[in-house]
Amino acid sequence: MEGKDRNISVMGIVNLTGDSYFPESRCLGEDGRTDVGKALGKIGRMLEEGADIIDIGACSTRPGAPEIPENEEWARLRPLLEEMKVSFPQVTFSIDTYRASIVRNALGIFPYFIVNDISAGEDDSRMLGTVGDAGLGYVAMHKRGNPRTMQSLCDYADVTDEVCGYFDGFAEKAERAGIRDWILDPGFGFAKTVEQNYELLSEMGRFGRFGKRILVGVSRKSMIYRKFGITPEESLPATQVLHFAALQRGVDILRVHDVAEAVRTVALYRIL
């Protein structure tokens, strides 16, 4: 979608995990249980700061992350969703999961949400049918392999061309599954080198041909801190530079750790 007056959203990250690369985003207690109070407080602050969507993930998918059982993922999510139903019943939120069972369980609490799936349905053959049948929103992300193998699968002749080809295939799958409302995420940091991430970002305009909203998740990622030899904690200024560049190239949704700063970046983009 083109034009500075297009619908641009800021998606705030809430991690119900203990090993996110940015510790400030974590809402898991030392006992391995969700710190519901901390998570609710974070959601409240993000909404006050202008977040349009809250993205909740209970299974770490960073490179190298171990897989956790489905029952553990749901045990982390369930208490927060139940409290959100009381405290934030109208919130627009997404669940960062690649498991259809998690989606079905969550439908018992909320009738509608967005599914943010790093595998675009490839890691669970039931996912696309579940989303299509329930009429949910859906974020389809590009990756190769899994968190344990993805960083060895970065061999592309043309990274942007191959990611575009991937979404050509996904569009057909989504159509067959009855998913009309889907969002395209090129998957920064997932089976891409630092250099490939920047190549992909510089060519984001090529994804406009799909006619779908485009989501970018570059917040405090290794494409920043490894490039400059800094930490995720030191990566906020560069993150906002990349957010501005993404907006210039037609991106519609920024997935972020720092909502207030991203909201100001969107405001500056609109007036400059």
Residue 121 makes CB contacts below 8 A (sequence gap 6+) with: 127, 128, 140, 170, 173, 177
Q: Which of 93, 129, 130, 98 is nearest to 112 (CA)?
A: 93
Tell me the C-alpha distance between 239 and 168, whole Å: 29
CA distance 216 to 1: 14
**How many CB atoms neighbour CB 7 within 10 A?**
10
Which one of 227, 255, 264, 270 is the catalytic residue?
A: 255
Catalytic residue among 143, 192, 213, 221: 221
Cα 78 to Cα 105: distance, rounded to the nearest angstrom: 8
In whole angstroms, give the CA distance from residue 6 to residue 248. Answer: 12
Contact present, 127 and 100 (Cβ < 8 Å): yes
Question: Two tokens at 15?
Answer: 């991690």
How far CA 230 is from CA of 35, 196, 245, 256, in Å, comes to 29, 19, 21, 18
99 is catalytic: no
Strand partners of residue 75: none
| Residue 264 is among the residues annotated as catalytic for this protein | no
Please compute Rg for the chain using Cα positions.
17
Active site residue ranges? 221, 255
